[in-house]
Amino acid sequence: MLTIDRIINSNRTAMGTQTFFAIVFVGRQGSSYLQGLIDSHPDATCEGELFSPTVRLLADLVRRRTISYRNSRQRDVAAYLSRKLHKKKSAAIGFKMPYLSLVEHPEAREAFEAFGYKVIRLSRDNLLDQYISFKLAQINNAWRSDRGSMKITHFAAEPADVAEAFQKWTEWDSTLAQTVETLPNLHVTYEELVDGSGVFRSLEFLNLRKVPLHSPFRRQRSGSQSDILENYAELKDHFARTQWARFFVG
C-alpha cells in the first residue's frame, strides 16, 4: 500500500499547479447542483460521489448500530484519489463526499490535509425543506433530478420522524463542520446556492474565474410546505413551542 508521502512526491509537479477540492455535505443540500455547475466551468472538473456509503452502513444506521468499520471497496483513500483524480488536467479538480462516506473513510481527512485539498461544506438553513426533499426522494426512489421523476408529490409525516431527522441532521452538520474546520474550507448554504451568492463564493474559493455556468441538475420539488405535507397544520402546531418552529414557513 502506497503511503501518502510517496504519492505526494510522485505527483508534486501537478499538485503545485492545480487546486484539489471536495464538496462535503449531509444530503439534500444542493451538492449535485453545485457539482454540475463547477463541472461546467471550462477550467474545472468535478466528479460525483467517489465513495458512496455501503448498503451495510445504511442498514446499520436504520437499526441505530454503532459504526465501527470501513468500506472495504476503497481501503487506501489517498491512492484512490491520486489514481482517480490527480492525473486530470483541469486547473481545479474535485468530487463530492457525503458525511456517511467520511464516517466510513476517516482516513480521507488525513488525505485532504496531505494533498492540500480545499473543502466546500454545504448545509441547509431550513431543515423542514431538507426533510421534505429527502422524503420525496425516498418515496419516489428518485435521488437525482436526471434519474427518475417525482410521481408522488405529497405525503403525511409523523412528528416523531420529523423531529428525529432534525436532530440527526443538526448533529451530523456539527460533526462535519468540526471535521473540516482546520482545513481550508468554505461554508455555503443551500439557500445561498439558490440565490447565486454561494456559487460566486465557491468560484472565488477555488480560484476560478467567473463565467456562465450550467448544471444538469434541477430542483425536484414543486409546491410549498403546506402543499406537500398533508398534515402541515398538525406539524406546525406540534413544533410551535420548540427550537424547530422557525422552519415552518408555509
Would you tell me the crossing angle of helices 197-205 and 31-39 to the nearest 10 degrees? 60
Round to whole Å and give the CA distance between 38 and 32. 10
Predicted confidence at residue 142, as pLDDT, reads: 86
Ordered domains of the chain (ranges, CATH): 4-247 (3.40.50.300)
Which residues make beta-bridge pairs with 185?
Answer: 119
Give the containing element (helix H, strand E) for 9. Answer: helix 4-10
Residue 50: Cβ within 10 Å count = 18
pLDDT, one tens digit for every residue, the chain (250 residues): 456 556 555 554 445 689 999 999 999 999 999 999 999 999 999 999 998 765 444 444 444 444 333 443 446 899 999 998 999 999 999 999 999 999 989 999 999 999 999 999 999 999 999 999 999 999 998 888 777 678 899 999 999 999 999 999 999 999 999 999 999 999 999 999 999 999 999 999 999 999 999 999 988 788 999 999 999 999 999 999 999 999 999 8
Query: Exposed, middle or buried: residue 47 (CB in 10 Å: 0-12, 13-18, 19+)?
Result: middle
- In whole angstroms, what is the distance from residue 150 CA to residue 122 CA? 24
CA atoms of 60 and 99, how far apart (whole Å):
15
Check residue 221 and give its pLDDT.
82
Residue 16 is predicted with a pLDDT of 62
Q: Which residues contact 164 (CB under 8 A, 6 or more apart)?
A: none
CA–CA gap between residue 131 and residue 143 (Å, rounded): 13
DSSP string, 153-208: --B---HHHHHHHHHHHHHHHHHHHHHHTTSSEEEEEHHHHHHSHHHHHHHHHTT-
